Amino acid sequence: GAGVSQSPSNKVTEKGKDVELRCDPISGHTALYWYRQRLGQGLEFLIYFQGNSAPDKSGLPSDRFSAERTGESVSTLTIQRTQQEDSAVYLCASSFPSGSGQGGGYTFGSGTRLTVV
């Protein structure tokens, strides 16, 4: 597609339930990133995928968070046993490889607003 697509756009879930968030990157963008944005705050890095390399998971806040990506396509971010502090907007972005000279700028999706009640 023309842009980064995320689904669902909104998700309300009960505390303790698992949720899956999906991201479709721009075709040709081999790098994919997940960020979390709490209300009124900046973007907090979660995880980074680059091609078939091992992902950089250094930003995941706990072992309840995990993400997968098959090749250079769709990624899913899974949050298990959700807690109220997980409520935030989860943003996905894709780009050409870091250091490729293609600009370094990301294209973001519109995000998934997760509310844990």
Partner 1 sequence: GQQLNQSPQSMFIQEGEDVSMNCTSSSIFNTWLWYKQDPGEGPVLLIALYKAGELTSNGRLTAQFGITRKDSFLNISASIPSDVGIYFCASSGSARQLTFGSGTQLTVLP
Q: Which is nearer to partner 1, 35 or 65 (CB)?
A: 35
> Footprint of partner 1 on this chain (CB under 8 A)?
4, 31, 33, 35, 41-43, 45, 48, 50, 56, 59, 91, 93, 98-99, 103-111
Rg (CA), the chain: 14
Shortest Cβ 98–partner 1 spacing (Å): 4
- Beta strand spans in 25-117 (E): 31-37, 43-50, 65-69, 75-79, 88-95, 107-108, 112-116
Shortest Cβ 81–partner 1 spacing (Å): 26
